Chain A
Amino acid sequence: MTALKRMWLVPLVVAVWELTTRLAQDTDFPPPSAIVLRMHELWFSGPVTRLFLTDDAIANILPSLGRMFMGWTLAALLGVVLGVLIGRSRTAADYVEPLIQFGRVIPPPLLLPLLMVLLHAGLAMQVAAIVFGVVWPVLLNSIDGAKGVDRTYTETATVFGLTRAQQLRDVVIPAAAPKIFAGLRLSLSLALILMVISELFGSADGIGYQLLQAQRGFDTPTVWGAIALLGLLGYLVNALFTVAERRLLVWHHHTRRTL
């Protein structure tokens, strides 16, 4: 209820935006109503049977989301598995951490020209760019989480004779899960950014591609529409992730409350 009450600022901002843009009459700044209209017309005026999605939406939004999730999922798997293995071995962590710190600070968009040469424009290059860009938060958080597993947990696992694989799967990964999820959440928003950037470089479809086309055609409402759509998608994906996290980490929130 209180969350709903605080929502009054949103329509106010939109109203002020609408008013100013209408008064200014600048074609570079279309009013939000025009942007929404264009978004509706471009993507959401399809038949009910397709959830109102237009051909254009299916041709562009779906491939974008596909790339993003493919990249994010691969990065998540890679980051969690490597991170947990590195985190459980002190020597491995000591050796690998400087390399990780180096890899992490390379701005991932800079790799796009190189990846274009190596993999050519297309899905492989885009997914590779997303994986490279988003793997770091997951990796670092998994290492940190696996390192910080309480000694009583691991001693209990040892005493009751769990094999190394069982210990990792049933004890270390769940115990590190709160940290891992924090990394995954960060990666998710990075994945959205890298998805768009990778589409600005040699792509034949996607939201980023559409944005670029609109900009080249001086179609300002579509440029703004694409930006708004990305914001909306980011918000939605993050909300879904939060719901999933709450469900999976119920024990964590409860345990923390009682301690």
Chain B
Amino acid sequence: MLEISNLSHVYGSGPGAHHAIEGLNLSVAEGELLCIVGPSGAGKSTLLRSIAGLIQPTGGEVRIEGKLVKQTPDNLAVVFQDYSRSLFPWMSVADNVALPLRRKKMDKQQRRAAAQEALESVGLAEAGKKYPFQLSGGMQQRVAIARALAYRPALMLMDEPFGSVDAQTREDLEDLVLQVRGHHKMTIVLITHDIDESVYVGDRVVVLSKAPAHVVGDLKVELASPRDQITTREHSDFVHLRAEVGRLVRGLERTPA
């Protein structure tokens, strides 16, 4: 559903140019939940921006459902890390969730109902009339997820979505992602720098090198579902996988199996 071939992106030119991505190839199947991990400054955000059509990569191409991405595709939603700047603080929670639906052929009542349904699915049925500043960080990120869900995208991109919340909230949000993908048919690409998170949430983990980024590891995660924060994380397969991903991120050799 998502095909990235020979993607490169350079910021600036001349000797000061920054090669963020070079020759990156990746394909994601329909319905897959792919986690992309890499060291900080690895060009993860550049990759996400290229997929979302927010920047025009300097080389290679991105295709979604076979269509070349030139500007933001209309079947794609993004959950940004910085929820405090991604939710609009001047709008109520319900208005934030309903805003993107204006693009769809829905009247006001349908939009309101869809927003309410999405808020219920992230456990915030009562929050619609509130403003983002009245909610905790974790709840604000739930609203951002609800907004993406209400939009019913074929592909949901998540850019370090749980990077700015505390550990307990983070676990709750990870479980929320696993839960909503069970209800909605969509492909999810989640970018993170947290190795444990990538293994816990993903069906598959792709490891990026330092900039200029390319794929250095591609692992299938075969852990039983539903996953559980305690039992999944103590399972020997989980421990083995996270060690393997960890070595790749740190640029070490893979241990012989």
- Known contacts A159-B54, A174-B90; A251/B80 CB under 8 A: no
Contact A155 B89 (CB under 8 A): no
Residues A255 and B100 in contact in the complex (CB < 8 Å), given A159-B76, A160-B151: no
Q: Does B11 contact A (CB under 8 A)?
A: no
Q: State whether A162 and B100 are in contact (beta carbons under 8 Å apart), knowing that A153-B88, A174-B90 are contacts in the complex.
A: yes
Chain B residues with CB below 8 A from A259, complex form: 84
Task: State the CA gap A81–B100 with chains docked (Å).
Answer: 24
Q: Are the C-beta atoms of B72 and A158 separated by less than 8 Å?
A: yes
A166 at interface (Cβ–Cβ under 8 A)?
yes
Partner of A251, one of B74, B100, B102, B131: B131
Contact of B100 among A153, A161, A250 (CB under 8 A): A161
Min C-beta distance of A178 to chain B, whole Å = 10
* A12 → chain B closest CB, angstroms: 42
Identity of the chain A residue whose Cβ is nearest the Cβ of B92 in the assembled complex: A251
A20 at the interface (CB under 8 A from B): no
The chain B residue sitting closest to A170, CB to CB, is B99
> B72 contacts A161, CB within 8 Å?
yes
- Is B103 located at the chain interface by the 8 A CB criterion? yes
A165-223 with Cβ < 8 A to chain B: 166, 170-171, 174-175, 177
Contact A156-B78, Cβ < 8 Å, known A162-B99, A251-B89, A255-B89: yes
B 62-81 to A, binary, CB cutoff 8 A, 1 in contact else 0: 00000000001010111010
Q: Which residue of A lies closest to B82 (CB)?
A: A152
B27 part of interface (Cβ distance < 8 Å): no
| Residues of A contacting B132 in the complex (Cβ-Cβ under 8 angstroms) | 251, 255
| Interface size counted on chain B using CB atoms at 8 A | 26
- Chain B residue at minimal CB-CB distance from A166: B102
Pairwise interchain contact A161-B78, C-beta atoms closer than 8 A? no
Q: Is the CB of A158 within 8 A of B54?
A: yes
For A166, the chain B residues whose CB sits under 8 A away are 102
Chain A's interface size range is 20 to 34
Shortest A249–chain B CB gap in Å is: 8
Contacts of A161 in B (CB 8 A): 72, 74, 100, 103
Chain A CB within 8 A of B86 CB: yes
Task: Say yes or no: is A150 at the interface (Cβ < 8 Å to chain B).
Answer: yes
B52 within 8 A of partner (CB): yes
Cα A227 to Cα B130 with chains together (Å): 46
- How near does chain A come to B59, taking the closest CB pair, in angstroms? 22
Q: How far is the CA of A153 from the CA of B133 in the complex (A)?
A: 16
Q: Which residue of B lies closest to A161 (CB)?
A: B103
* Contact between chains at B77 and A160 (CB < 8 Å): yes
Determine if B129 is an interface residue (Cβ-Cβ < 8 Å): no
Mask: chain B, 99-141; 1 = CB below 8 Å from A; 0 = not: 1101100000000000000000000000000011110000000
Q: Does B183 contact A (CB under 8 A)?
A: no
Find out whether the CB atom of B103 lies under 8 angstroms from the CB atom of A160: yes
Pick from B54, B82, B84, B85 the residue with the most CB of A within 10 Å.
B85
Q: In the assembled complex, how far is the CB of residue B127 from the closest CB belonging to chain A, in whole angstroms?
A: 15
A171 touching B80 in the complex, CB below 8 Å, given contacts A160-B151, A162-B99: no
B75 CB to nearest A CB, Å: 10
Q: A150–B170 Cα gap in the complex (Å)? A: 25
Contact with B along A103-123 (1 / 0, CB 8 A): 000000000000000000000
Which chain B positions have C-beta within 8 A of A250? 131
A160 vs B71: C-alpha distance in the bound complex, in angstroms? 12
A49 at the B interface (CB under 8 A):
no
User: Chain B: residues with CB nearer than 8 A to chain A?
Assistant: 52, 54, 72, 74, 76-78, 80, 82, 84-86, 88-91, 99-100, 102-103, 131-134, 147, 151
Offer 10 A-B interface pairs, CB within 8 angstroms, sorted by A: A153-B88, A156-B78, A156-B80, A159-B78, A160-B147, A161-B100, A174-B88, A175-B90, A250-B131, A252-B90
Q: Which 5 A-B pairs have the closest CB atoms?
A: A160-B100, A152-B85, A254-B133, A174-B90, A161-B103
